[in-house]
């Protein structure tokens, strides 16, 4: 059964209550008890805490990326924001993402799950934007979709002249 907010289950609230109890947070335990008894304000407070905790966990998420000319790499999602993307939905979805690290390195990777095609390339920080474009075109070839490649290139931040 989900809460009225449809974003956390009663089990999520019970888990929050147990964690709060283990941490000695009597106020949160009491709030969770009220929520489990159906108090709408308490449900809202518990859901907010649960969603905030999930958001914090997502920032620490590690993503494993299949690369084309080396073994897979693992990155922390929060340290490698997406700077460009292209995608196609439908019965044969495909996507290409470009992520950039604050030190200037970029990872270009993509996938066509229904065809089992995936690949990626690491672009060194010293390389110009044209190297990122080349990597996008190579990934577009792997997933066999130039349109997704072109959309990704169009989504790149522009060079300052």
What's the pLDDT at 152? 96
> Tell me: the pLDDT tens digits for 73-126?
999 888 999 999 999 877 788 999 999 999 999 999 999 888 888 999 999 998
Q: Give the residue with greater pLDDT, 54 vs 135.
A: 135
The set of residues, in sequence order, having a beta carbon less than 8 Å from that of 74 and lying 6+ positions away, is 62, 63, 64, 65
For residue 5, pLDDT over 80 is answered with: no
What's the pLDDT at 57? 60
What's the pLDDT at 4? 37
Model pTM score: 0.64
SS3 87: strand
For residue 50, pLDDT over 90 is answered with: no
Taking Cα atoms as reference points, which of 62, 60, 73, 58 lies closest to residue 118? 73
What's the pLDDT at 80? 93
Q: Give the residue with greater pLDDT, 72 vs 6.
A: 72
- 87 with 95: CB under 8 angstroms? yes
What's the pLDDT at 71? 92
What's the pLDDT at 58? 59
64-75: average pLDDT: 91
What's the pLDDT at 6? 41
- 32 with 42: CB under 8 angstroms? yes
What's the pLDDT at 77? 84
48-72: average pLDDT: 79
């Amino acid at each position: 059964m989900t809460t009225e907010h449809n974003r956390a289950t009663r089990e999520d609230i019970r888990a929050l209550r147990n964690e709060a109890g283990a941490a000695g947070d009597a106020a949160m335990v009491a709030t969770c008890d009220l929520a489990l008894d159906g108090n709408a304000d308490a449900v809202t407070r518990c859901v907010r805490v649960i969603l905030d905790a999930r958001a914090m966990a997502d920032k620490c998420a590690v993503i494993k990326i299949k690369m084309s000319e080396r073994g897979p790499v693992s990155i922390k999602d929060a340290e490698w924001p997406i700077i460009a993307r292209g995608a196609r939905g439908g019965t044969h979805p495909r996507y290409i993402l470009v992520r950039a690290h604050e030190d200037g390195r970029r990872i270009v990777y993509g996938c066509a799950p229904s065809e089992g095609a995936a690949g990626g390339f690491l672009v060194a920080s010293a390389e110009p934007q044209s190297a990122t474009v080349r990597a996008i075109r190579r990934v577009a070839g792997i997933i066999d979709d130039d349109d997704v490649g072109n959309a990704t290139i169009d989504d790149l931040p522009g060079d300052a002249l």
